[in-house]
Amino acid sequence: MSTRDQFAAWLGQIHADRELSAHTFKFAFALTQVVDANGFVRSATVTKFARDVDDSGEAVEGLLGRLAARGHLKTVGDGPEIEGFRLMVHAVNTAAGAASSRSPRCVCRAKRKAEIHNGAIT
């Protein structure tokens, strides 16, 4: 998976997280502009970024904390000496994810269509 695809997947999982606000998504998108190719954002970059981005009055620390609490960021470093943050892309099994997000009736219909298409049912 390319770096661009990983960043897109990360933004997709944040967009799908109903507990996060639109402003948090915008902040996450802005983070992808300063993250390195390994998915790491240095704390010094975040400090500079905080001065440049703070347009809503909401503290950048709060946005970072919310993303970390929801499992989208991992804090790197201990205590007051935080080195930075790593983007956490969650693995999704598309077949299982598609089946689990549907109602049982939809899953049965989809399974039946697949069986008919594969020639199992005539």
Q: Tens of pLDDT along 81-122?
A: 889 999 999 875 544 444 334 333 434 445 555 555 555 443
Backbone angles phi, psi at 92, to 5 degrees: -125, 125
Helices (H), the chain: 3-16, 22-31, 43-53, 60-69, 94-101, 104-117
Report strand pairing: 40-42 vs 73-78.
Answer: unpaired
Report the SS3 class of residue 82: strand
Max alpha carbon distance in the chain (Å)?
66
Q: Where are the domains of the chain?
A: 3-87, 93-122
pLDDT of 54 strictly over 60:
no
**Paired residues of 87 in beta bridges:** 73
Paired tokens of 41: 């954002």
Is this prediction's pTM over 0.85?
A: no
